[in-house]
Amino acid sequence: MSQDVADTDESPGMPLLNDPFPELEVETTHGTKVLPDDYEGSWFVLFSHPGDFTPVCTTEFVAFQQRYDEFKELDTELIGLSVDRVHSHIKWTEWIDEELDEQIEFPIIADEQGKVATELGMLHPGAGSATVRSVFVVDPEGELRLILYYPMEIGRNIDEILRSIRAFQTHEAEGVALPADWPENESFGDKALLSPPSTDADATARLEEADADDDLEAYDWWFTLKDI
């Protein structure tokens, strides 16, 4: 193997699920910040938008701000990002305040050179030079727990981002997994799922445990629901 190929193989790529979020110093509308260190001990959502003064992005920022209190109740902060300058961010948020009566309270990163966007895989070849609608959810230990990408023409679903954070926090507090559409699953409501046993003995014990515990509902040893 040539040295060039070896170097390429060993070079770090964009972070993946459960990777440490890369340490980045960024310029924002709230001054310089260091990620993830400045948010140590709390969750944060970093989300990018293609550009200031664009219609879909404007509706998203209004939507995030309108739900900001719900994020804070989950000990979660918001950080926006685009390749626009700080002055553009400021003028745009002033316009949102004046015309749509929403004051954007969270910081917005000015990634003029695209360094942060490149590091995090926010620039997609088919989308030109603007950042796609990326969402990165980072936990209090600085680990990347969720990545979402949306195309330029479709705005994000804020409910899904909030739902995901609630699900992560429930998983960590209760040691359970969460079903599709939790907590409003059409078949199982807000019940959680136990991880499947890994041995014959544990499988038998799971069924016995479910028979004795009213909070458990075992359809089978590998499919057991729990009230939480």
pLDDT on residue 105: 98
pLDDT on residue 11: 38
Q: CA quadruple 53, 26, 163, 18: dihedral positive or negative?
A: positive
pLDDT on residue 1: 41
pLDDT on residue 3: 44
Identify the CA nearest to 198 among candidates 224, 217, 221, 176. 221
pLDDT on residue 132: 78
28/130 same-domain check: yes
Q: Are strands 43-48 and 76-82 parallel, antiparallel or unpaired?
A: parallel
Q: CB 149: neighbour CB atoms within 10 A?
A: 13
Q: Which residues pair with 143 in a beta bridge?
A: 20
Domain closes at, from 126, 158, 190: 158
Q: Which residues pair with 165 in a beta bridge?
A: none
Query: For residue 49, what are the domain limits?
Result: 3-158
Number of domains in the chain: 2
Q: Cis bond leading into 179, ω under 30°?
A: no
Measured CA angle at 27 (ends 24, 29), to 5 deg: 135
In angstroms, the CA 36 to CA 139 distance is 9
Domain closes at, from 131, 158, 185: 158
Q: Which residues pair with 138 in a beta bridge?
A: 44, 144
pLDDT on residue 128: 58
pLDDT digits (tens, 9 = 90+) for 49-72: 989 999 999 999 999 999 999 999
pLDDT on residue 151: 87
Tell whether 164 is covered by a domain: no
Domain closes at, from 127, 158, 189: 158
Reduce the DSSP state of residue 47 to 3 states and report it.
strand
In angstroms, the CA 83 to CA 116 distance is 9
Task: Enter the pTM of the model.
Answer: 0.90
In angstroms, the CA 193 to CA 191 distance is 7
7/93 same-domain check: yes
**Which of 26, 45, 46, 57 does the annotation list as catalytic?**
57
Tell whether 127 is covered by a domain: yes
Active site residue 167: no
Are the C-beta atoms of residues 191 and 217 closer than 8 Å to each other? yes
pLDDT on residue 127: 57
Can you list the residues of the chain whose pLDDT is less than 50?
A: 1-11
pLDDT on residue 126: 64
